Amino acid sequence: MSLESSLSLHEWACLHTELIWVYDHPPLDWDVEYDYSRASWAWLVRRGEMKITQGSRTTIARSGMWLIPPSSKIRLQLSRDCHIVSLHFFCQWPSGQNLLHQPEPLTIDAAKHPDMERKAVRLEQLVRRHFPHRDLEFKLYSGKQVGYPLFLQLQTHFFNWLTVWFETLVENGAFLTRLHSGDDRLFQALRRLNEAPLDQGFPAERLQQATDLSEVHLTRLFLNEFGLTPHKYWEKRRLEFAQKCLETTRMPVKEIAFRLGFRSDANFAVWFHRLARLRPGLYRRNRSVWKDIRLGQ
């Protein structure tokens, strides 16, 4: 696949691209089973080794290698002397599908791609400088409060690294999961869905004004293009906000419910359980980055 595969600017602009964390030290856990299709990860092994088990296949990355997990459920095991640079981020289409896909783990010689390490280190140093390692929260980049100039500076460093990440993965066999341009009206609808406040209800009127399509017609086209209806995309966006808050912050459940427009945390809990199959409290205990964290220091 060519790096120059062309899509409309609207399509590229609709990518959900966001850094969640970056750190450079011993890992958060030594043995974990997780579904890595929900976001993207990249690990540079500085010392020790990382092992991915995917079915009956095992992939090992040792010092001086990048390890990129596949978009699937795997088991990740790390040696006790392991030290890594870890980047966790979103780079997804509106449907939730990752921008790049590779069916198997990738191991990449860092010496052959020095810019990937150099730019990752610069990003990590910038994050660490502004979010000191006083506690565990320095890894939770996305939950921090910053001014716009610093946000732009952080984004510049992140996108510089992301450019090298994209080129390196494609060079090593990953491929774009979307290769055609769609109906511009649908991307206008996406923009309205992404811009609408989460606490003010489904923006049906804004969608009609932006697309000049009936609800039935828009739903049919949207489903065909993205694999889900506008209403389901809206609920997906709200659910992802709730999940991120539960996983990466200590925000009270009542406040999360308020930010999503629920009149009570009980109503929010029923809604969350219907979509996530877990109550908010249990979801937080199972998935929170605060759970059983071992820094190895």
Q: Tens-digit pLDDT profile for the chain (297 aa)?
A: 445 567 878 788 888 899 988 989 888 678 888 888 888 999 999 999 999 999 889 999 999 999 999 988 899 999 999 999 999 999 998 878 899 988 899 999 999 999 999 999 999 999 888 876 644 444 455 566 789 999 999 999 999 999 999 999 999 999 888 767 678 898 889 889 988 999 999 999 999 999 999 999 999 999 888 888 999 999 999 998 999 899 878 899 999 999 999 999 999 999 999 999 999 999 998 876 544 333 333
Which residue, of 176, 197, 215, is where some domain finishes?
Answer: 176
Domains: count for the chain: 2
Judge whether 297 lies within some domain: no
Q: How far is it, in rounded angstroms, from Cα 196 to Cα 200?
A: 8
Are the beta carbons of 76 and 34 closer than 8 angstroms? Answer: yes
Q: How far is it, in rounded angstroms, from Cα 59 to Cα 64?
A: 15
Q: Are residues 50 and 170 in the same domain?
A: yes
Host domain of residue 246: 184-287
Which residue, of 119, 143, 176, is where some domain finishes?
Answer: 176
Residue 40: φ, ψ to 5°: -125, 150
Judge whether 292 lies within some domain: no
Q: Are residues 37 and 79 in the same domain?
A: yes
Q: Are residues 167 and 215 in the same domain?
A: no
Are the beta carbons of 163 and 123 closer than 8 angstroms? Answer: no
Question: Under DSSP, is residue 114 helix (H, G, I), strand (E, B) or coil?
Answer: helix
CA angle (153, 195, 242) in 5-degree steps: 85
Q: Are residues 188 and 78 in the same domain?
A: no
Q: Which two tokens stand for residue 65?
A: 């290698």
Q: Are residues 228 and 148 in the same domain?
A: no
Judge whether 28 lies within some domain: yes
Question: Under DSSP, is residue 212 helix (H, G, I), strand (E, B) or coil?
Answer: coil
Q: Are residues 49 and 132 in the same domain?
A: yes
Q: Are residues 145 and 215 in the same domain?
A: no
Q: Are residues 109 and 47 in the same domain?
A: yes
CA 269 vs CA 249, 254, 262, 289: distances in Å:
17, 10, 10, 21
Judge whether 274 lies within some domain: yes
Q: Are residues 32 and 143 in the same domain?
A: yes
Q: Read off the pTM.
A: 0.76
